[in-house]
Amino acid sequence: MSDQSITDRDRKLAQQCMACPVCKHARRKQRGLCFWFVKRLEARICPACQAYERVYGRKAHEPLPTGGAEPASEPTS
């Protein structure tokens, strides 16, 4: 990752990206207008998509890992 640390604000914005119907559709289907929109436009201008990338280490349009579930919001320690 980068030198930039992940803040609570980043985590909240990443949660918004996980709940966003457009981003969820793009992650699930990997095709269509929503996928194109998130891949080409939204990731450049949407702070929630940018935070998702910082927190989870992958773009908002990339498919979920082979577990099928959304990533946990924050590990408990």
- Please state the domain extents for the chain: 8-56
Neighbours of 31 (CB within 10 A): 10
Quick: pLDDT tens for 20-74: 999 999 999 999 999 999 988 887 899 999 999 999 999 999 998 876 555 655 5
- Which residue from 12, 43, 13 is spatially nearest to 27, judged by alpha carbons? 43
Task: Please tell me the pTM assigned to this model.
Answer: 0.74
- What does the block give as tokens for 62? 């990339």
Q: Apex CA 48: angle with CA 25 and CA 73, to 5°?
A: 80
